[in-house]
Amino acid sequence: MDLVKVKNLSRSFDVSKPWLNRVIERQPKLFLKAVSEVDFDIAERSTYALVGESGSGKSTIGRMLVGLLTPSDGNVEIEGVDLAHETDAAKVAAVRADIQMIFQDPYASLNPRWRVRDIIVEPVLAQGGDTAGLAERLLEQVGLSAEDAGKFPHEFSGGQRQRICIARALSSEPRLIVCDEPTSALDVSVQAQVLNLMSDLKDSFGLTYLLISHDLTVVQHMADRIGVLYLGRLVEEADPDTLFSDPKHPYTQMLLEAAPRLDAFGREVTPPEGEIPNPIDPPTGCAFHPRCPLAVDRCRTERPELREIGTSRAACHLAE
């Protein structure tokens, strides 16, 4: 059973100069296509991970899923309801309550003037639910103590704050949690604590995660299925074992090769060529072709579609 269905999802941002500049300099409007025609499904009670480098559109997809951004094209269906187009307000409200989000920076995502108790129960209050003893119970579930409910966010360390963010996300009993780089701001030993907590909560609450990360080791550890993004497009999708043992797309191969490894002492790698191109003016054909070691003429003119290869999907003319 798929909880989330993403179909043909696209989002572009207007990055034009102001009107007067455009008229004087005779420049057209400029659009940045952050996400183009992305398709994927997330099965219930699984973890779907989106990986990619900066500018690949992974956070934009996460924001569209929770409704912080509206799609320019395509749609996101959660529990069979398309939030951007559904007109029945009651249906939308019911689905909204099932979605929560955890952000990257635990310092920026907690209001410093609120007590932890108020922060945690806010999602429930907003829906008019009963909040008696809720914050205390959740704090214990995420490994803090009930007395912490009366404190302010500045009294906690980064890892503890991220636990508070998780408690807040859990308070409205959601089914889907979008985690945008939940451990990037944390130290390794604290990251392990938070990842373990996320796994435990997933089992006990029957949660579904969309995990957005740039860290391949975290993704490999947590995900049931992984989508690799490059310049706003899904270039490969597979389960972790297949992706890491047999990557089909040259970009995935490059990422895996370039990622630092703990067991690779003094490894001599030929570092990947080039950088991510400008998304306002992406290359023609396959967006990866200027950096791809295998690129042929066809890659420069024709954009590869995502096609099924075994259990994975890859968008490459040459992949097999």
Partner 1 sequence: MTDPVLSIRDLSVEIPTRKGVVCPVDSVSYDIAPGEILGVVGESGAGKSMAGNAVIGLLNPPARIAKGEIWLNGTRIDQLSGDAMRRLRGKEIGMVFQDPLTSLNPLLQIGDQLTETMLTHLDISRSEAEQRAIAALQEVGIPGAADRLNSYPHEFSGGMRQRVVIALALCAEPSLVIADEPTTALDVSVQAQIVALLKKLCRERGTAIMLITHDMGVIAEAADRVAVMYAGRLAELGPVREILTSPSHPYTDGLMASTPLASRGKSRLHQIPGSMPRLNAIPDGCAFNPRCPYAADKCRHDPGPQGAEGRAACWFPIVRERTA
Residues that bind partner 1 (CB under 8 A): 53-54, 157, 159-160, 187-193, 195-196, 199, 214, 216-218, 220-221, 244, 254-255, 257-267, 269-272, 275-276
What single DSSP character describes residue 11? Answer: E
Nearest approach in angstroms of CB 281 to partner 1 is 14
User: Burial of 76 by CB count in 10 Å (0-12 exposed, 13-18 middle, 19+ buried)?
Assistant: buried
Using DSSP's 3-state secondary structure scheme, residue 309 falls into: strand
Which CB atom, from 72 or from 220, has the smaller least distance to partner 1?
220
Instruction: Please list, residue by residue across 112-122, b when 16 or more beta carbons sit within 10 angstroms of its beta carbon and e when fewer do.
Output: eeeebbebbbb
CB nearer to partner 1: give 92 or 276. 276
Minimum CB distance to partner 1 smaller for 65 or for 142? 142
Minimum gap (Å) between residue 267 Cβ and partner 1: 5
Cα 168 from Cα 259, distance rounded (Å) = 33
Amino acid found at 124: V
Tell me whether residue 81 or residue 205 sits nearer to partner 1 (CB atom).
Answer: 205
**Measured from the CB of residue 27, what is the shortest distance to partner 1 in angstroms?**
19
| In the complex, minimum distance from the CB of residue 84 to partner 1, in angstroms, rounded to a whole number | 30
Pairing, β 81-82 against β 233-238: unpaired
Judged by beta carbon, residue 246 or residue 257, the one nearer partner 1 is: 257
Q: What are phi and psi of 280, to 5 degrees?
A: -70, -30
CB of 305 to partner 1, least distance (A): 24
Q: How far is the CB of 197 from partner 1 (least distance, A)?
A: 9
CA-based angle 12:15:20, to the nearest 5? 140
* Contact (CB, 8 A) for 49 and 226: yes
Mapping DSSP to helix (H, G, I), strand (E, B) and coil, where does residue 55 land?
coil
The residue among 9 and 51 lying less far from partner 1, judged by its C-beta, is 51
